Each structure stands twice: as C-alpha cells, then as structure tokens.
Structure 1
C-alpha cells in the first residue's frame, strides 16, 4: 500500500457468520472490511492493513491516470458526442465534495471525483461523458439529457450512483431498526451491479479483495459479540 495514495476511511464489520474469510470492498469513498467476530484487535489491525493494501493495489491497476482520463474523454466524445466536446484537461480531483465530477465550460476543464475510483468502468465512462456533455449544454435541460441518451448505460449508471449515495447516507444516518446487511463472503455488495453486468464487465475481482483465514490465525477464546461496526483508518 502506497502511503502517498490515501484510500479514505475504513469501516470494519464483525460477524458471527463469517468464520474463515476476510473480505474488503469499496462503498462510495470508504472501504468496508468484513472480518470474523472472534478476531482479536491485533488480528483486526493486521487484516485491515493487509486487505486495504490489496484493494488499493487493485484500484491503482485499474484506475485511469489523468492522461488516460484525457484519452478516455476524447474517445467518449468521438463515439457519443460526434467529437464536439473537446476538453482542455480532464483530471482526478479530491475536493469535489458530494459531486461525482464538475466542469468549467468557459475553461474547458473537467474534474472527476476520486470517489469514482474503483467503480465499474462503465460508471466511470458515464461520469466522464456527463461532464463532457456539460461542455455543450451548461444545464440539465432536455437537450443535455437527449445528448447523454446516446450512451446506452446512462440510466443504469445513474441508478448505480444513486445506490452509492443512498448507502453513504444510510451509513451516516443509520436506521436503528434495520439489520446491518453484509455481502456474502468473497462477493461484491448486492447494489454494485447485477450478475450479468459483473460478468460482462469483468469487474468482480477488481471490486472485492477476499482472503481465507488459517485456523491458527483465529483466536479460539475470543468473545462472540455478534456483528459490530467500528471505524478505522489505514
């Protein structure tokens, strides 16, 4: 794990149902690490470090650089906007707040939130194309959506991003009456994509880091507190 490449907040989830596996996946701008409930604190720290590092390495391999984002933007403009959107620059940005991206039409600059990193490529394509379309249409009027409709996964990508936003809001303001949902061991969270999209886009392995815990790495005398959610930072 490169300390110069921050991964954001880390949430640790303990579960009685999880016995021999540790899973890490990204949920919006945070990383969730699911571990067996009987892990000691020392084991928790070690496995969080290990799994966050593995997931961060996977994301760096698949995440486009600024130069690659510029190339991607040119390709998307040519394919869906008849090459009419010509940005001066397209860069990753860490200060987009709740926005997925932003565009300054007068300068021709586009900034894509680093929160998008690790998402399926077709979602990244949508976010970049959304900002490209703003170079042609400043607002979100009918002409904007008509132009963006040329991208076949517009509605699916919007739904994906809405799901991420909903999940983040639930984490920030949890419903005390709702049971905490945990994805099956070694699988992506259920709202990341449906099964055929995972297969088609081959993103499952990149979205989830999973490992098996050897018996001698688990403290047999640890308490069994049920599912506990805590926060950490790698």
Structure 2
C-alpha cells in the first residue's frame, strides 16, 4: 500500500475518534502511484478523520498532531471503511436480484416477480429498463455507487413496470408506496444536471416502455414526461 503524506485542505465526511489498529507501508514524501493513498494533515483538525476517493486514489484527512503510529492505524481503518461502503453501494447481480425481491414484497405485495435483474453498461440514456414480456430488468452501471435509497427507487420503478408497462396514473400509484420516490427523482435530476446533459423528451425506447394511450389525463402525461428513470440523453 503506497502512502504519501502531505498538508492540504479539508474535504470529506468526518468520523470521530480513533478506532482499531493496523499498519501501512510507505514513508513521508514517497511518490504516490496509481491506486495509492494520500494522507493530508491539517492543523485545523482537532480529533476527526475523514476519507474519500479521488479518481483511483484514496485521500485520508487527519489532524497534524497525530503520531506516525496513529496515522498508520487510521489509514487502514478508513481504507477498510471505504471498502465496506463500496460493497454496500456496488452490489453484485445476485445481491441486486435479492434486493429487487425484497422491495417487491415490501412495496408491491410481492406481485412483481422479475426473471432476472442485472447491471448493464450499455444504457447511457436511462437509469434502468425492463421488458415486461419476459420479466427482465436492467439497471445502468451509472447507478452503481449512488445511495441505496436511490438504487431502491430505480429498482422499484422497473418492478412497477412489470405490473404497469405505461407511465399512467396506475403506475405512479404503485410508486406512491415508496416514501423516498420524490427525493430519489430529485437526486437523479441533480446528477443529470451536474453532468450538463439535456433532459430526454421521454419518448419510449425499444420494447421496455409502452406508449401512453391518447386519452391519458394531462396530469399523468406531465408525470410521465418528468419522471422516467432515465438520465438525460448524452450531449
């Protein structure tokens, strides 16, 4: 494990008090290679330590007063914590399928039963998609790493399509059971806006979304346009 120690500003989420002990190789001022760890000490910090990813590096922020032994212990602790977060936020296909089943039981009375749920890397204009005719659900790899409640919303959106292929009122009524629907939609819109992409016009793609009937109410039409689980089209 390559560790480089320097002095820099404060970023990341704070975690109180030291925990555990371990060792980390490397010396102060050592070159930082790909996937290495950079320790940034700050005199403004008193007792908190935080860590975050920066590209392929791990940045650990800690008080300047920490000893070398404390630094080593904290580096290992924070690396382990980030790894645990990655496992929670980047579940495998099997874990994704189990979560979809749990969500179906909890919010849809177990009525949505997908035949498969998997991550895909070829969806650049939507967060998720499903094919009601064969029960398959695909989740964009862009969602991987987002908060769990956002992933849950995307899964529920696609599960709801197994029961209601269109985006009419009955579809949105199914999602009303999930308490974080509006918050998750706002989060996804924010991600898209930050990326500087223009919003998709909401037109159906392939067979996974059924066009709305002409007699659809104005209210349902507005919700359909605003609320697909798609990121904006690539600019």
TM-score by length of 2: 0.52
Q: Aligned-pair RMSD on alpha carbons? A: 3.1
Structure 1 unaligned blocks of 5 or more: 2-18, 26-41, 172-234
The Cα offsets for residues 60-96 of structure 1, whole Å up to 9 and x where unpaired, read as 4122211111111111111111111000000011111
Asked whether the 8 Å contact 1:59–1:117 carries over to 2, the reply is no
How big is the shift at 1:57?
4.2
Partner of 2:158: 131
**Cα distance in structure 2, aligned partners of 1:155 and 1:121:** 15
Partner of 1:156: 183
Higher relative contact order (CA 8 A, sep 6+): 1
How big is the shift at 1:106?
0.5
Q: Secondary structure at the match of 2:58?
A: helix
Partner of 1:182: none
Larger radius of gyration: 2
- Paired residues in the alignment total 138
Of 117, 141, 149, the match for 1:114:
141
**Cα distance in structure 2, aligned partners of 1:108 and 1:78:** 16
Change (3 A) 1:97 1:170: closer
Q: Secondary structure at the match of 1:161?
A: helix
**Cα distance in structure 2, aligned partners of 1:24 and 1:105:** 41
**Cα distance in structure 2, aligned partners of 1:21 and 1:89:** 45
**Cα distance in structure 2, aligned partners of 1:49 and 1:146:** 42
**Cα distance in structure 2, aligned partners of 1:64 and 1:44:** 27
TM-score by length of 1: 0.52
How big is the shift at 1:56?
8.2
Of 30, 46, 51, the match for 2:58:
51
Structure 2 unaligned blocks of 5 or more: 2-6, 14-30, 39-54, 60-78, 199-235
